[in-house]
Amino acid sequence: MSLQLPMDYALTGREYSWIIASYFIGCFTAGYYWTRWRTGQDIRELGSRTVGARNVGRTLGAGGFTVTFLLDLAKGAFAAAGAIWLGLRPEAVVASLVAVVVGHNWPAQLRFHGGKGVAVSTGALLAYDPFIVLCLVVIFLPVIALLRNFTLSGMTAFMLGPLAVFLCGLDKVEVAAMSLLAILVLVTHRKNIREEIARMAGHRPVKGSSAQMHKGPNEEA
């Protein structure tokens, strides 16, 4: 595999169609629809105001968290598995992974107010190359033992993931996939990272954040 794109590289109709389909698969924000069905409320107006599993868990408990997390994991895996099953070129497979996470984070039907991409990214990587997820776990476990902070540990794993994948000798395509998903996850968690660092340092909460958001780690699936 190679990630070097020729000057005349162009997506085929099948590749283009699946990448677009992956975005709309990502737009199925399970947390939003599950909360609507169970309570009639808009999860984007509750807690940390995202559609991620952890925020749903604050409203619907462990059951809501589990359902949302598994559905988000599944849609990421489905987009990646579909791209591989269709025989798309490596670059188009990576684009499909990115598209499903973008759809989850910025769903068009919810005015681009979605989740933060952790569960979806994990599901996509599991279907794409489980070894990448193993690399993330290997980074995450010692970091959480040291920091005892779930959010910062998870973000550290995603931040160092591309380097770990590279050092393990995986192909450029795998490094690119991990890098792009890491960027998406870190961008959506930038506020959470600042808040957690301030909280661990004993500083006051970041101005403008809600009191509920500071009751615990804020990473959203």
Given this model, what pLDDT does residue 199 score?
A: 79
Give the mean model confidence (pLDDT) for residues 75-92: 96
Model's pTM, two decimal places? 0.83
pLDDT above 90 coverage of the chain, percent: 66
Q: Which residues contact 56 (CB under 8 A, 6 or more apart)?
A: 31, 34, 35, 43, 64, 65, 67, 68
173 located within any domain:
yes
HEC string for 112-129? CCCCCCHHHHHHHHHHHC
Number of independent structural domains in the chain: 1
Residue 221 lies in a domain: no
Q: Is residue 217 part of a domain?
A: no
Does a structural domain hold residue 69?
yes
Degrees to nearest 5, angle at CA 12 with 120 and 104: 15
- Residue 201 domain-assigned? yes
Note whether residue 199 is domain-resident.
Answer: yes
Tell whether 220 is covered by a domain.
no
- Say what the pLDDT of residue 5 is: 55
User: Is 162 domain-assigned?
Assistant: yes
Least confident of 16-25, 45-54, 96-105: 45-54
Give residue-wise pLDDT tens across range 171-215: 999 999 999 999 999 999 888 778 778 877 775 444 444 444 444
Structural domain for 96, as ranges:
13-209
